[in-house]
Structures are given as structure tokens and as C-alpha cells.
Structure 1
Amino acid sequence: MTDEHGDPGPPLDVPVTMFEDVEDLKAAVARLTAQVEALTKVEGQKPGEASAEVEETAGEDAVEAADEGDQEWQYPPLILLLDSPAYDDELRALTEWVEGVLVPGYLAEPSADARWCHLWFEHTPAVARLHALWLAWQECTDPVSCGYTGPSVWHRDHLDPCMRELRGPIGPFAGCTKREHGVVHRMPVLVPSAWRQDGA
């Protein structure tokens, strides 16, 4: 190989198989390009042209997106921000999940180091944390949105930290034991208006 001045450059030690690999890659790219063109080709339409139907659908999607942008921003689904009967309905669904999935599947026998209260729904902080855990479970067990790693992410990022907070020595169940309760259980009251953006 010579440079622009005609001087030979350093010898290149390129294996012959590399040239074969490059040719194989070129052939593979050509095959894939042909497949893409065949799959996207519409009869009587040049490659790269969008059909009128596709353009019309894209226009409708843009209008829908603009309409959604005009709508009022929705609060995150924090259960403590709900009023009755929405709160009651959400708590009922949460209770089914806690008692049907979480307790039998994940909670060992309560102990001094890992407390649990069978009246968990009367502890406002527990309701809030368990509701958030349940929402994360719904999302992370949906293969469409999270694929195969969703359950692992749910265990690592949601279940374990939540259980540490709830069942720890200073968690909401700190005064609760199997035989007696060190706290007066009470149903959660309405959320203070300061929590709401609209001040209502």
C-alpha cells in the first residue's frame, strides 16, 4: 500500500478469512434489504412512498395526541388521594391482592424482626405502601410492558424495599404483635387538602 506521496506504508497483516466475512456480511445485508423492500412494497407504489391510508392514520393519531395534551393532567394513582367510594373500591381490590397473593406467597410467620398486622388496612402508611407495591406488581408482571425481567425488577426494586419498611422495627407495624396491638387501630381519615394540587 502506498500513501499519497508514493511511499509504501507499513504492511497490513489481514487474514484472508476477514475478506470472506466482509463478503458474507454484504450478502446478508443485500438479502435483508430485499426482504424489507418486499414486505413494505405496496402494489403500484414506489419504495419510500407512504400510502394515503397510512398518511391519513398518522394524521388521526396526531389529532388524538393533541386532544390528549389538552386534557387535564391526571394524578398518579395514589390511594390516599381518593375519596369514597373510589377509595373503598380500590382498597377492596388491594385487599384481595394482599390476602390472596402477598400474604400466602411472601410473608413468613411474623416475628420481632419481621412484623405484620392482620389489620394492615387500618394503618394508613401500610395502605399507601402496599397499594404502590400492588400497582408496581401489575405493571411488572405484564409481559407486554416489562418482558421477562419484570418479575425480577418487581422483587428487587419494589417488594424487598417495601417489606423492609413495613416489617422493620420502626415500621407501621412496630407496635403490633401476634397477641396484642400496641397502637390503636383506626381507619384512615380523609387526606389533608394540602396534599392536593387544587386545594380542594
Structure 2
Amino acid sequence: MADEPEDVPELDVPVGMFEDIEDLKAQVAHLKSLVERLAGPGEEGPGEAPADEDESAGGEAAADEDSEEEEWQYPPFILLLDPPEYDDELRALIEWVEGVLVPGYLAEPSADARWCHLWFEHPVAVARLHACWLAWQELTDPVSCGYTGPSVWHRDHLDPCLRELRAPNGPFTGCTKGEHQINHRLPGAVPSAWRQSDG
């Protein structure tokens, strides 16, 4: 034929390669739709449509599962929770503090290193210990943080947390061995910076 160039090489393409290319196209289409969803509400351009309706629906289901996983995997800060979620999170925090922190890290309380056995009634203590616990969950998993995670947790989270909580002017200032005081640390009623008003 006169229209074809003379030096076109013959290509011997394995049949499986076509399947691989189709798989890659499907993956690219899925990733493209995912990026568009994450980037915000956008409309498809004229003439653009999902490569495959079923694949698109499957991608949405997978995205929903991913968002549920992320929600479960990253719990919100305890002060942002309302009951019953707050109560559940506090129960789990108490188990960790009493099961790991108290026996492993707290020595006998003193004037220079205070502790209150009713620490969960001190909002400042709850907030600091919850933050320390969240960091502990992340930094004791070698898969996500390697083998230096526990060292980082001690240095950057546990030590500063205990230093602040057990300081002579910390939240347990009025608490002694036989006595628990909490009112000395609570301010008067102020508008909450943590919750939105329902008005």
C-alpha cells in the first residue's frame, strides 16, 4: 500500500500485555475519579464520562470504606467528644493510665511530683493524658514509626506530659495523699472554645 511507511517494524506483542494495559487504564481512571472527589466538587467536562459504570460504583464503595477506616483509625481529641463517645473514650483512657502509666512510670507522689488518684476528674489531666495516649498508640507501632517510636514517645510526649501534670503548680496542686480537691482548678463559666453553640 502506498499510504503506509516502508520501514514500519513488525511488533510481536504478547497477548497478556493487552490485559495489563487495560488493568492500568482502569486503575488510572479510578485514581482520576478519586483525585477529583478529593479536590472538591467538580463537574466532568463535556463528553467526559467514567470509563466503566460498574467500576465507578465500585470505586465509590471503596472510597466509603476508606473514609470509615480513617474515621475509626484516627479518634478525635477527647475534649471534642460528647457523651456517650466521651465516656467510652475516657473508659479506655483510664484502662491505659491505670494499667500502663501508673504502674510503669509513676513513683510515690510527693510535693515536687504530685499525682491524684482521681485524675480523671481534672479536665486538664484528662486532656494531657489523652494526647499522650494517642501519641503512644501511634509511636509504639513499628510498622508506622519504625523502632525509634518509643524513644520519641518518651522524649516528646511522656516526659513533658508528666512534668506538667506533676509540677507543684500543676492540676493536682491541691490534691494530697488523703485528700482530693478539684474546685481550686476550675474557672467560672466561660464560653467554650471547643464546642459550637447550638443557637
Alignment match, 1:95: 94
Question: Over residues 90-139 of structure 1, what are the superposed CA-to-partner deviations in whole Å (9 max), with x where a residue is unaligned?
Answer: 00110110111111111111111111100000000000000000000000
Cα deviation for residue 69 of structure 1 reads 5.2
Alignment match, 1:124: 123
After superposition, the Cα gap between the structure-2 partners of 1:182 and 1:70, relative to the gap in structure 1 and judged at 3 Å, is same
Is residue 171–residue 185 contact of structure 2 (8 Å, CA) maintained in 1? no
**Structure 2 Cα separation of the partners of residues 160 and 141 of structure 1:** 16
Aligned residue among 25, 28, 31 for 1:61: 31
- Where 1:169 maps in the other structure, the secondary structure is coil
Question: Aligned partner of 2:91: which letter?
Answer: R
Cα deviation for residue 59 of structure 1 reads 2.9
Is residue 115–residue 168 contact of structure 1 (8 Å, CA) maintained in 2? yes
Question: Aligned partner of 1:88: which letter?
Answer: D
**Structure 1 Cα separation of the partners of residues 141 and 26 of structure 2:** 31
Question: Aligned partner of 2:146: which letter?
Answer: G
Alignment match, 2:178: 179
Alignment match, 2:138: 139
For structure 2, the residue ranges without an aligned partner over 5 or more in a row are: 1-13, 42-70
Structure 1, 51-60 or 107-116: larger mean CA deviation: 51-60
- Where 1:181 maps in the other structure, the secondary structure is coil
**Structure 2 Cα separation of the partners of residues 64 and 184 of structure 1:** 51
Question: Over residues 51-93 of structure 1, what are the superposed CA-to-partner deviations in whole Å (9 max), with x where a residue is unaligned?
Answer: 321332243234335435559xx89722111110010010011
Q: Percent identity?
A: 68
Alignment match, 1:114: 113
Is residue 121–residue 182 contact of structure 2 (8 Å, CA) maintained in 1? no
Alignment match, 2:156: 157
**Structure 2 Cα separation of the partners of residues 185 and 51 of structure 1:** 69
Question: Aligned partner of 2:37: which letter?
Answer: D
After superposition, the Cα gap between the structure-2 partners of 1:68 and 1:94, relative to the gap in structure 1 and judged at 3 Å, is farther
For structure 1, the residue ranges without an aligned partner over 5 or more in a row are: 1-41
- Larger-Rg structure: 1
**Structure 2 Cα separation of the partners of residues 172 and 83 of structure 1:** 23
**Structure 2 Cα separation of the partners of residues 76 and 168 of structure 1:** 28
Aligned pairs, how many? 151
Q: What is the TM-score when the length of structure 2 is the normalising length?
A: 0.65
Runs of 4+ in structure 1 deviating by more than 6 angstroms, as ranges, are none
Question: Aligned partner of 1:56: which letter?
Answer: A
After superposition, the Cα gap between the structure-2 partners of 1:176 and 1:64, relative to the gap in structure 1 and judged at 3 Å, is same
Question: Aligned partner of 2:83: which letter?
Answer: S
**Structure 1 Cα separation of the partners of residues 87 and 193 of structure 2:** 21
Cα deviation for residue 186 of structure 1 reads 9.9
Alignment match, 1:51: 21
Question: Over residues 150-185 of structure 1, what are the superposed CA-to-partner deviations in whole Å (9 max), with x where a residue is unaligned?
Answer: 101000000000000000011101111111234449
